[in-house]
Structure 1
Amino acid sequence: MKGKPVLSIVTPTRGNFSDFWINELLRIQGNVEFVLVYPPGVSPRPIQDSRVKSLVSPYRGEMMQRFVALLNATGDYVLALDDDDLAHPDIVELVIKYFERFPDSWVLRLKKAVIDFRDIDAIKKEWTGIPDIDQLDVCKKTAADPNPYRNGNYEGLLEVPIAPLELRFDVRWLFFPFFERKDNYGYHFENFNNIVWNNQLVQKTLPVLAQTTQMLGAITWIPSSGFDRLSGLFVQAVSYQRDLIIGHWLPGDEQIRYVDKPAAMKPPRFHVISDFLLVKRFPQYGYFWNLFFSKLYGVPRAIAKLIRLKLTKNQPPINALVTEEQGETVKAKG
């Protein structure tokens, strides 16, 4: 790799990723670096590619490993993947062309295909071509056309606004625990993964996030999970400008393949713990209070699911599928 990378692709991993996944990752062309962060006590797998940077986190856990990965991302732009997510081999070319046309954008939101972990054909099929950025019109939400999204069938670059953080806290959450939250509806987004970010904004955010984990002066509290939404919203909050268009959503068939499995097979997640950090650092934003309370009332159900899994010993599998044809393991999300 010559010079500063255009794109850093960062991934926390337990080290049990499949050969298929790493081989697909290394198919990505262009000036790219891959930052893999392992938990303590796990030796990085030997990978013969100078673009790969293998690190060991000082502490175990999704959030800490992702944080270490982002701290060591040196590219102009950064893309976070799990160690079974797949990205288009020509993603770097796509990133270069997009940010040449929109140099002030914060994000390029990629078209993501959600694929069942048992659908080996969909996971392994060849990629179609990438969209030609220069030939795409910009789709805007206007009074004349309030729904340019049209159920995902847009043909141009769909404008993506910043999350509406200034919304007021809905006090009904204090009295109706299962009241439906609707302020997360719309073209904005909350997550960080599978989206290309301007790395200057990300690096600006990391010190603020680190400071927010400090409790009572001498205690540092780092949740083990929930970093995806936490970091996506934290970046938007640190540099918040009301009603700002922060990027675009790409059309096309797919530029990301997200390998998924049914909710019943996933371990319970206590996202309210990481959501608390948003409220702690940005108490002025009602959007975060709505998010916090909506997840707070889900904690008993998460605990019940955890107990049920422990009693039945029905832990979700890590390596769930092996293809009969080639004997290649495809990891399901855990």
Structure 2
Amino acid sequence: MTNPKLSIIIPMREGVQDSWLQEILKIQGSAEFILVYPPHVPFINISDSRLHQITSPLRGELIQRVTALLNASGKYVLSINCDEYLHPNIIDIAEDYFSNFPDSYFFRLNQVQFPFGDAPIDKPWDSLPKIQDIEVRKRETSKAYSEAEKQQMMREIPIVPFDNKLDLLAIFRGRKDQQGPHQENFDKKVWKNELVQKALKGVVPNFTLFGPFKYIPFWTADRLMGLSVQAGFFEPEKIAGHWLPLPEQLRTEDNPPNQPRKNRRYVLAEILLLRQFPSFGYIWNLTVFDRGGLFMVWFPKDALRKLAQKLGLKKPNVS
């Protein structure tokens, strides 16, 4: 069998409507759709030869995404959620992009968000210009581009600067090395699957602590995989990819009110990065000193603040 051009991998949850999958299956061209469900959640009853529905051994965004990635056989791979909609010509866009930028690791989709319950199913998709006709600019985080500018340019995304030095001053003033035009996350980007499969060979063994004992965090596959691929193929100052212009290629519906996107301890997965890439200062700064990192989690700053207030060394905040 010929492998598909694009593998689209999606972790599932309870209550996903058939209408969402029907829209996703409108994608044209050589694709496979890998949906991974938590245990005891029934499959959506839709038949399509491109559709593969799998039950994960455990519940959790990380294990469900990794299970899907391990089954992805496409030339390219894209990870989205079960409340997102893709441009029906996404495969043509991917082939156009990588034919013009064959050394890139990925490209990022341009995304538009909609409120929960207001899915843009009936809104037609606009065509994207040919990649070779789009102006390329350096990514500038300090500059806010107008909608007109976003429609006319494609922004460079440099690789994460893993060779940054360990920054002990981040204990006192917070991190600074995460600032810049690079991007850490995996989702919403079309990746070369060859790189992703090689990165998985380093990620998956780290789930084993010893013998039969495993450590698999519930969340944070997004940043874990994005950093693992870039670290595994790190080239200083490389342009790893590009951010496509408008019109959008991805539409996202907000999470249901009972499933907010918050309170996720990213460090629970990032300690796996530290185990795999201990020589990179950027990983140490991320894992130890980032908001929610090991130091910030265990450092009793709230208790010390209250003690300082009782001793009169610090005035309480007045709102």
Normalising by the smaller structure, the TM-score range is 0.7 to 0.9
Over 3 Å counting, the alpha-carbon distance change for 1:264 and 1:55 in structure 2 is closer
CA RMSD after TM alignment = 2.6
Please tell me whether the aligned partners of residues 32 and 75 of structure 1 are also in contact (alpha carbons under 8 angstroms).
yes
Residue 165 of structure 2 corresponds to which residue in structure 1?
Answer: 168
The equivalent of 1:279 in structure 2 is 274
Question: Residue 237 of structure 1 aligns with which residue?
Answer: 231
Aligned-partner Cα distance in 1 for 2:158–2:59: 34
> Which residue is equivalent to 2:179?
185
CA drift of 1:193 comes to: 0.6
Shift of 1:139: 2.0
Q: Spell out the pairing of 1:249-268 with structure 2 (5 A cutoff).
A: 249-260=243-254, 265-268=260-263
Aligned residue in 2 for 1:307? none
> 2:144 is matched by which residue type in structure 1?
N
The alpha-carbon deviation at position 158 of structure 1 amounts to: 1.9
Which AA in structure 2 matches 1:77?
Y
Structure 2 distance, partners of 1:190, 1:227, is 11
Give the aligned residue type for 1:181: R
Deviation string 1:115-135 (CA, Å, 9 cap, x unpaired) is 3325x1656522222232121
Residues 1:74 and 2:73 aligned together: yes
1:9 maps onto 2:8 in alignment: yes
Instruction: Name the amino acid aligned to 1:68.
Output: T
Q: Deviations over 1:137-163 (max 9, x none)?
A: 32246xxxxx49842434233221100
Within 2, Cα distance between the matches of 1:121 and 1:67?
27
Give, in angstroms, the shift of residue 173 of structure 1: 3.1
Q: 1:148/1:221 Cα in 2 relative to 1: closer, same or farther (>3 Å)? A: closer
Alignment of 1:1-334 (within 5 A): 3-117=2-116, 120=118, 124-140=122-138, 147=140, 150-152=143-145, 153-154=149-150, 155-174=152-171, 176=172, 179-216=173-210, 218-260=212-254, 265-292=260-287, 293-294=289-290, 295-296=292-293, 299=297
TM-score of the superposed pair, with normalisation by structure 2: 0.83
Please report how far the alpha carbon of residue 187 of structure 1 lies from its aligned counterpart in structure 2 after TM superposition.
1.9
Q: Indicate conservation of the 8 Å contact 1:77/1:198, yes or no.
A: yes
Structure 2: runs of 5 or more not aligned: 303-319
* Structure 1 unaligned blocks of 5 or more: 142-146, 305-334
Which protein has the larger Cα radius of gyration, Structure 1 or Structure 2?
A: 2
Partners in 2 of 1:240 and 1:4 — Cα distance?
27
Deviation at 1:265, TM superposition (A): 3.9
Shift of 1:284: 1.5
**CA 58–233 in structure 1, closer or farther in 2 if over 3 Å, else same:** same
SS at match of 1:151: coil
Shift of 1:25: 0.5
**2: distance between equivalents of 1:135 and 1:181?**
38
Alpha-carbon contact 2:18-2:44 (below 8 Å) kept = no
CA contact (8 A) 2:119 2:253 kept: no
Q: 1:201 to 1:265 in 2, by over 3 A?
A: closer
| Deviation of 1:188 (Å) | 1.1
User: TM-score, with normalisation over the residues of structure 1?
Assistant: 0.80
Provide the secondary structure at the position in 1 that maps to 2:218: coil
Q: Which segment drifts farther, 262-271 or 33-42?
A: 262-271
- Distance verdict in 2 for CA 1:148–1:63, change over 3 Å: closer
